[in-house]
Chain A
Amino acid sequence: MSGELVRSSLGSLSYDPAPESASLARLRERYGLFINGTFTNPDEHAQFASLNPATETTIATVAQATSGDVDAAVRAARRAYEDVWSTMPGAERAKYLYRVARLIQERARELAVVETLDNGKPIRESRDVDVPQAAAHFFYYAGWADKLQHAGFGEAPAPLGVAGQIIPWNFPLLMAAWKLAPALAAGNTCVLKPAETTSLSALVLAEILQQAEFPAGVVNIVTGDGNVGAALVEHPDVNKIAFTGSTEVGRAIQRRLSGTNKHLTLELGGKGANIVFDDAPLDEVVEGIVDGIFFNQGHVCCAGSRLLVQESIEEELVWRLERRVEQLRVGDPLDKNTDVGAINSAAQLARIQEISASGEVEGATRFTSSCALPEKGYWFAPTIFTNVSQSQRVAREEIFGPVLSVLSFRTPDEAVAKANNTTYGLACGVWSEKGSRTLWVAERLRAGVVWANTYNRFDPASPFGGVKESGFGREGGRHGLEGYLDV
């Protein structure tokens, strides 16, 4: 077949829906808080709805914790720390964590459906990334629990005590795993605060902790709005705050903790540059760019939201990219064929719309996929801005949505300068067949993660975290223990 024929037949291909069953989620109608090993009675709390962002229907209602509830959770964590967890041999803590890892695998399909219903992400991603990575994190850190003396922090590194952990809505279960697994392995007890719009997978995780017969109070989960997180940050008996979320909130937390003895790690926003040199294999590059910015609807702090392309290939790459983006299937997150799911909330959708509108006002050229969008739910079609200058909002602000800004460069020096021209420093990508140049660029990028000829890869053994205003501290790997040890 000629190229033209291939293109036209590809263009006419359509897929029948292949939906996963929502009933696999087995959710309760109402949830209490998970404190001291048991769920509180939902009737004791004000309840708020957790919506499916793809349909705007209520999946379950969740408890709004009060500061008194947070206090009860911290007290339970303190008791568990003093009486059980800090004195338990590391090998025993390890076995509890291994149990959790296994149970996540056992309930993987259920968890994937819960995550997709609550978050709006494609089932393909929750099934292939979020849930297996969450299990892998518990597996990885389980093995550290009885080997802390070999982690490079001295012969007997001590835990910090009670850790307050506040996580975002973009990878709800995975972020819970990133926070809990290293903290527990190091011997801390935890009070976890899920994001307001995505509490459900953490509450299923609470059931898993019960199944694993975790000692009461070692992990407590308090749901609700930002006031719950604030109460946790301010609680006098919390030794450590670990936060993942926006730079704005991270800054507020650092302010609150200034002058206190509480330990803090922050994993904040980003405006990742994906740098493409003219010798890079363009087919792979296109897939990498798509993974970089449209994975998880662009709700990724390390998203490759700025494409920096060498000038000589800009035109061709943008043409290929727009053609590829036109093929992305946007819609029902439960459909196994879906590439791009629903925006997590009305508020986030409004923010994406607002910044995207500014891109047009400020003179950038907008390309938006012509894909059909469902009538109900929160949706934003994949969008690419070209003719972007560094001063425009679409090049500077974290959009946290499926919106890519394209800038160009001529020399490696210019690529590095533009990539680093941001207050953030979380992640970057480099695409080139020339290893020496890739490493040269990687050495000069001020970022916590550099992906070379790939993007958005995660692994429990790989430290993740930012520099500059993307935060401090690392999650993953041996480095991830440091934030939970008194070293």
Chain B
Amino acid sequence: MVARAVDTVSRGTWMSERLDVRKTYKLVVNGAFIRSESGRSYEVVDASGAFLANVAWGSRKDVRDAVAAARAAQTKWWSTSAYNRGQVLYRLAEMAESRRDEFAALVAASEGRSSADARTIVDVAIDRVVWYAGWTDKVAQVFGGANPVAGPFFNFSLPTPSGVVGVVAPASSSLAALVDQVLAPLATGNAVVALASHERPTPALLLGELTVTADFPPGLLNVLTGTRDELAPVLCSHEDVDGVDLSGVDDEDVAPLALRCAESIKRVVRTGFNGEADSLRRLRGFLETTTVWHTVGQ
């Protein structure tokens, strides 16, 4: 009786309507969770229009910081053995697996799906991470090889990463698309600056959070939120970005972004999310080929 009286005094209905602790989702830049340097944030709502989270509203300066962090991380990432890179990406899948419920809740809320549908999306996404993790030490053999040149040379082609890759995720998909767009360049040795869906950013930010516990080098995957009109052009114009995946951009919006990419001869990938052919296009899309000729003689 006493305890109940106390409850009534303090809240009355705490068992059923606990006041929730609202999370502010921050940008993931250089392995840290930061508010935008601009100091801005925005409210994200779920599919029914109810408040879901506060999210940092990134600026052009945040894009530049993320690119600088990605450049530094890429050097480190590529100097790691392919085996270890696979382990790190697999570790991300492990981390995601243990947060399946949280991912599913965010996907369900963001996309307005049943929890069963959201679970399927999350499970498929985690399985995709595993699939990409397995690519790290296959890339050189599948995409490279020895070339039989006519002369006393040993000649071989090594697939090498383009470097820093920008990713623009689609507005509609909160997790599945981004996982493909991000994991493909990571698996081929690139570092990534990803621009998450403006309307549905929380699963992407959760993925970004997990990289810190999955032994990602700081800056290897940076996740930004904000408005696409403000941030995507900065990403596409940045001279230290080597390629961009614009698959999340609608047909009518792609031309001005692609035009910016031309200034520094960026690699531009724009493809679907429909299975293996698209995934291979993404794997190849941010791979260069370095061909080495070495003399052979006594």
Contact = CB atoms under 8 A, between A and B. Distances in A.
B291 A154 contact: no
A67 interface: no
A442 B292 contact: yes
B277 interface: yes
Given A254-B261, A258-B262, A462-B155, A453 B294 contact: yes
Contacts of B281: 487
Interface string B132-167: 000000000011010111110101011010110000
**Chain B binding site: helix, strand, loop or mixed by DSSP?**
mixed
A250 B149 contact: no
Contacts of B256: 258-259
A479 B145 CA distance: 10
Nearest to A423: B264
B151 A259 contact: no
A65 B255 CA distance: 29
Interface in B252-284: 254-259, 261-265, 267-268, 277, 280-281, 284
Contacts of B284: 482
B242 interface: yes
A255 B265 contact: no
A448 interface: yes
Central interface residue in B263, B280, B291, by most chain A CB within 10 Å: B291
A487 B283 CA distance: 12
B114 interface: no
Given A438-B294, A459-B147, A154 B277 contact: yes
A251 interface: yes
A153 to B, nearest CB: 8
B252 to A, nearest CB: 9
A461 interface: yes
A183 B283 CA distance: 23
B149 A459 contact: yes
A445 interface: yes
Interface stretch (A119-127, A164-172, A201-209, A465-473): A465-473
B294 A452 contact: yes
B289 interface: yes
B151 A459 contact: yes
Interface in A41-92: none
A232 B258 CA distance: 20
B259 A449 contact: no
B295 interface: yes
Contacts of B295: 452-454
B111 interface: no
B265 A471 contact: yes
Contacts of B255: 258-260
B157 A463 contact: yes
A467 B149 contact: no
A449 B295 CA distance: 14
Interface in A435-487: 435, 438-439, 442-443, 445-454, 457, 459, 461-465, 467-472, 474, 477-479, 482, 487
Given A154-B277, A477-B147, A482-B284, A449 B153 contact: no
Contacts of A415: none
Nearest to B297: A453
B290 interface: yes
Central interface residue in A154, A461, A470, by most chain B CB within 10 Å: A461
Ranked nearest first, the 3 interchain pairs of A and B with the lowest CB-CB distance are A259-B255, A258-B258, A254-B262
Interface of A: 136, 152, 154, 247, 250-251, 254-255, 258-260, 266, 268, 423, 435, 438-439, 442-443, 445-454, 457, 459, 461-465, 467-472, 474, 477-479, 482, 487
